[in-house]
């Protein structure tokens, strides 16, 4: 279904399916003794949703006909590199003394539960109310507790999320570590600018942000990605996404690195391929995972 300004979703429809798929890939990427990341809660969250396709993805058990061939390890590696980037960002930020963190469009992210946060750290996570409710309830049923002071805020980021953040105790006088993981393409061009402006307005000097983005989102819309998404393998396992590019906003927009730099942020940007190299991982490109494998990763510090 093509995006509309006032559309909504849960974890099994529309944009929400991407959060579920990413959690499944994160579970797969966590398998093995030498895996780059470890998210012990990803698979239980996917299992609780009850869709065979995603559970088989998490276990690396998907099989398909030859024309539907897609190496899940390519996606798992891409998710591992992306996850490690944001994990490392938080470790570095808190290592310099930042004790306030915000996870925007958190989806099934479990950093507030699986990372070891320094004492006194407050984490805010924001996403659709249904997404926040499902994750919080499922982890509570598992007797899993946050490792930081956690405020989970159920709100659509197209609404007045800054007021919700402030209502829950966000302190604009304290430097903040912000992440916006996998969010870029789901915002229209004008909303992207407003989003970055709002973060800048809420940030004290020495705040940091990490974000993944694409200089040209049109690369994510290609025949290969549509071929995989329309496969019988997906439909037979309860997933029907005709065109993944329908879930994002294509077309020209401002370069995120340049935009942040013009607003006082000191930036450093690497490509996904460079992140693979930094982690000593082999880079294999497949257009079906262009959203991961052609991404840029930016870390910026204010002031």
Contact indicator for 211, 244 with CB cutoff of 8 Å: no
Residue 65 in this model has a pLDDT that exceeds 60: no
Q: With pLDDT > 90 as the criterion, what percentage of the chain qualifies?
A: 69
- Whether residue 3 lies inside any domain: the answer is no
- Whether residue 123 lies inside any domain: the answer is yes
Domain count, the chain: 1
- Whether residue 40 lies inside any domain: the answer is yes
Band of the pLDDT at 41, cuts 50, 70, 90? very high
The tens digit of pLDDT for each residue in 87-126 reads: 999 999 999 999 999 999 999 999 999 999 999 999 999 9
Question: Quick one: three-class SS letters along the chain?
Answer: CCCCCCCCCCCCCCCHHHHHHHHHHHHHHCCCCCCCCCCCCHHHHHHHHCCHHHHHHHHCCCCCCHHHCCCHHHHHHHHHHHHHHHHHHHHHHHHCCCCEEEEECCCCCCHHHHCCCCCCCEEEEEECHHHHHHHHHHHHHCCCCCCCEEEEEECCCCCCHHHHHHHCCCCCCCCCEEEECCCHHHCCHHHHHHHHHHHHHHCCCCCEEEEEECCCHHHHCCHHHHHHHCCHHHHHCCCCCCCHHHHCCCCCCCCHHHHHHHCCEEEEEEEHHHHHHHCCCCCCCCHHHHHHHCCEEEEEEEC
- pTM listed for this prediction: 0.89
- Whether residue 10 lies inside any domain: the answer is no
Segments forming the whole domain that contains residue 215: 16-302
CATH code, domain with 147: 3.40.50.150
Distance from chain centroid for Cα 124: 15
Per-residue pLDDT, averaged over 52-72, amounts to 74
- Whether residue 2 lies inside any domain: the answer is no
d(C-alpha 214, C-alpha 119), whole Å: 35
Query: 283: exposed, middle or buried (C-beta count within 10 Å: 0-12, 13-18, 19+)?
Result: middle
d(C-alpha 218, C-alpha 248), whole Å: 10
- Whether residue 6 lies inside any domain: the answer is no
The tens digit of pLDDT for each residue in 241-255 reads: 555 566 678 889 999
- Whether residue 157 lies inside any domain: the answer is yes
Band of the pLDDT at 1, cuts 50, 70, 90? very low
- Whether residue 274 lies inside any domain: the answer is yes
């Amino acid at each position: 279904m093509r995006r509309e300004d006032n559309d909504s979703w849960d974890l099994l429809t529309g944009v929400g399916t991407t959060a579920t798929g990413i959690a499944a890939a994160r579970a797969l990427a966590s398998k093995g003794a030498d895996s780059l990341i470890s998210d012990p809660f990803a698979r239980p969250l996917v299992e609780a949703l009850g869709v065979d396709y995603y559970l088989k993805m998490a276990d690396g058990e998907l099989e398909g006909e030859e024309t539907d061939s897609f190496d899940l390890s390519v996606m798992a590696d891409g998710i591992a590199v992306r996850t490690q980037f944001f994990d490392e960002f938080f470790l570095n930020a808190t290592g310099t003394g930042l004790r306030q963190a915000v996870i925007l469009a958190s989806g099934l992210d479990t950093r507030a539960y699986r990372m070891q946060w320094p004492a006194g750290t407050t984490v805010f996570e924001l996403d659709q109310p249904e997404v926040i409710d499902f994750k919080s309830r499922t982890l509570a049923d598992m007797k899993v507790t946050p490792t930081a002071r956690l405020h989970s805020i159920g709100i659509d980021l197209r609404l007045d999320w800054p007021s919700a953040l402030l209502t829950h105790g966000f302190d604009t006088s304290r430097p903040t570590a912000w992440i916006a993981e996998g969010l870029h393409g789901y915002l229209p061009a004008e909303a992207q600018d407003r989003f970055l402006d709002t973060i800048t307005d809420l940030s004290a000097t020495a705040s940091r942000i990490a974000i993944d983005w694409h200089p040209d989102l049109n690369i994510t819309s290609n025949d290969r990605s549509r071929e995989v998404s329309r496969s019988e393998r997906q439909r037979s396992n309860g997933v029907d996404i005709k065109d993944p590019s329908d879930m994002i906003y294509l077309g020209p927009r401002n370069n995120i690195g340049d935009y942040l730099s013009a607003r006082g942020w000191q930036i450093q940007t690497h490509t996904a391929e460079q992140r693979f190299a930094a982690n000593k991982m082999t880079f294999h490109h497949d257009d079906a995972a262009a959203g991961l494998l052609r991404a840029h990763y930016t870390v910026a510090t204010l002031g």
